[in-house]
Each structure stands twice: as C-alpha cells, then as structure tokens.
Amino acid sequence: MLKKIALLAPGDLQLQTVEEGPALQSGTVKVHVSACGICGSDLALLNGTRDMTKELYFGHEFSGVVTETADDSCGFQPGMRVATELARTCGQCWNCRNGLPNYCRSMNDALLPGGFTEETLVHSTPDYGFLSQIPDTLDDITASLLEPANCAYHIAMQANIKPGDNVVVFGLGAMGIIAAIMLKQLGAGAIVCVGRRPARQEKARQTGIFDAVVGNDEDGMAQIRQICGEKGADVTIEATGSPQVLTDAIRVVRSGGRVVVGSVYHGTIRDFDPLPIFRKELTLAGAKGPTVYRRTDGSSAVMYMMERAQNDLKKIISVYDYKDALKAFEDAKSGEAIKAVITF
C-alpha cells in the first residue's frame, strides 16, 4: 500500500492509501518519493484561489529514488537519488531560442500525479526533463528544496548584483529567504529582509542568516537607511505576493537601482504612482518560475549552490511525517513553518 495526500476539493485534504502507483508510461521514470515540500501554489489549490480542475499534479517540490525507467526515457537509472527541477527544455521553440527556457512548455503533464504520494511518474525525454541527480553530500529533505531554490536562483540572477551590493528583500516566506541565501552566496553585501508579521520576523532572526530582519514600517525603513545608506539599497526583491509592497520596494531602492519581482500577484495596486521609476531611472525585472542553469559538466548549477548553502537552508525547514501532513499544511498556511516538508 502506498501513502497519498489527496486534495479532493478546495479545503478537503485527506490522507489516503492506494494499492499501487501509476503504471510506467512512455518517456517517464518512476520515482519513490522521500520528501515533498509545500509550495504557495499548493496552498492556492487548497484555498480554492487556483482552479484544481486544470491541474494534473499535486506537489512538485520533491526528492526520491528512481525505481523504474521507460525504454525511451532519458538520463536516469534505477537507484539514482533525484529531485525535481526544470532540467531540460526543447531548445527549438521561440521561447528557448530567445532566452526564455522557463516558458518552453507547461509542466502540467511533467508529474503524474505529483510528489504528495509515495510513487509518481516524471517525464524525462531528450527534449524535456524535470529531474536532477542529488549528490551524496546533500540529504533528501534539503534536496527537496531544489525546485524552489531554482526559482530563487532565477530571482538572484535577475538581480544582477555586483560584489558588495546591498540588497533588501521584501517577504519572509520561503521564496524571499531562499533568494536572499542565494544572493549571499553570490557575493551580496548587506542583506536586509523585511516582513509584516512579528512572529515570522523573529523566526527569520533566529536563523542568523541575514544582517537584519525588520518590519515594514517607519522603524524598519530607518534601519534600512542606517545599513544601506541614505541613498537606499542597490537592489530590492519583492517576494511577498502583495502588490502594494511593490511601491515600498521602489521607494527603498537607490537611484539607478534594480527592483526584481518574484511574486505571483492576485490583485492590482490602487493609486499606483509610477513617477519614481522615471525619476530614479530604475530597472524593473520579473523572475518567473524555475529556469535551466547547468554547469559545464551538465550537473545542476542550483544544486551546487544548495550544497554550499545547505547549513542555511536547513534552518528554514520544518519536517513533518506523513501522518502529520494535515498539520504541515496548516502550519504552511498560517506561517508557523517557513518551509514545510513532508516525509514519506
């Protein structure tokens, strides 16, 4: 019998067991899931703000072991430890040829049925793949962060920092914090994280990862000026999902600075004043989802970054056994857990 976390309808999450996993299909590998993280998009499905009828999978941030491979699958053998990451794209479509491989194709059919079950299929073909091998130096739980770390690394790359640049990150969720960890690895100077909720601020402070964690209020803005200087931060990252906070990110960045938006918004900004973009000659850059970064040996660049940053990454993970999965979703929703990871 295999364990499964099933989302039957918005708000209706159940622990189930099934007799067997999905049958192997052409171009797929079967993965026995070890650990799966809860993403904000999973919570959106649970809350009903995202249409679950259009989704073919549930859970996409997972690690595990390959157990079977189809004859026409590519690059993996039974027994390999793997984690999810947008690893290969076709290289032929307009998006790939114009530097947007993260738009190559929908990942909706890449995982069947996804990581919130003990066995899932993952497509792995010569022109499209979603897995990377886990090095021996990284444990399964930390490796389950590969896909969000890939998204965060894309945010960090869009920041285009120079060594010593001061960065202010708005958002104390997993995406904002992992992006800050990646920027730290890339040579950022001072990194200040900004959040609204005192409890989450304290959790972030306890990690000891950042130069400062402040509130999104005048006291917090004063601390940012004290650390970054009166001209403002070189780069600001908006990772809250709250459209209004974008105005704060624009206010805090220096003239000639860069603002990176790594949020999925579900609303607009009333009375938005775009004049500072002109007056300060700002650069605004979006950062959507994971994208492909490879080292010269073909291994994952982001996995390499995670190896170097694993001590910091471990500090933001809350681990839940499968039997406590419903609690994991509650804590992820409330913010009690920065990054909730469920183990099977």
Mean pLDDT rounded to a whole number for the chain: 94
Highest mean pLDDT pick, 124-133, 293-302, 313-322? 313-322
* Mean pLDDT along residues 298-309: 95
List, for residues 152-202, the tens digit of each pLDDT value: 999 999 999 999 999 999 999 999 999 999 999 999 999 999 999 999 999
DSSP-derived secondary structure letter, 209: -
List, for residues 200-226, the tens digit of each pLDDT value: 999 999 999 999 999 999 999 999 999
Query: What integer pLDDT is reported at residue 109 of this predicted model?
Result: 85
- For 185, how many CA atoms within 13 A lie in the half-sphere containing its CB? 24
Question: How many Å apart are CA 117 and CA 340, to the nearest integer?
Answer: 16
List, for residues 128-141, the tens digit of each pLDDT value: 899 999 999 999 99
Question: How many Å apart are CA 7 and CA 230, to the nearest integer?
Answer: 49
Model's pTM, two decimal places? 0.95
Question: How many Å apart are CA 86 and CA 90, to the nearest integer?
Answer: 11
Domains of the chain, first to last: 2-149+292-343 (3.90.180.10), 151-286 (3.40.50.720)
Query: What integer pLDDT is reported at residue 55 of this predicted model?
Result: 85
Residue 98, C-beta contacts closer than 8 angstroms, at least 6 positions apart:
none
Residues in the chain: 344
Could you write out the three-class secondary structure of 100-131?
CHHHCCCCCCCEECCCCECEEEEEEECCEEEE
* Mean pLDDT along residues 28-47: 95
Task: Say whether pLDDT at 52 is over 90.
Answer: no
Task: Say whether pLDDT at 292 is over 90.
Answer: no
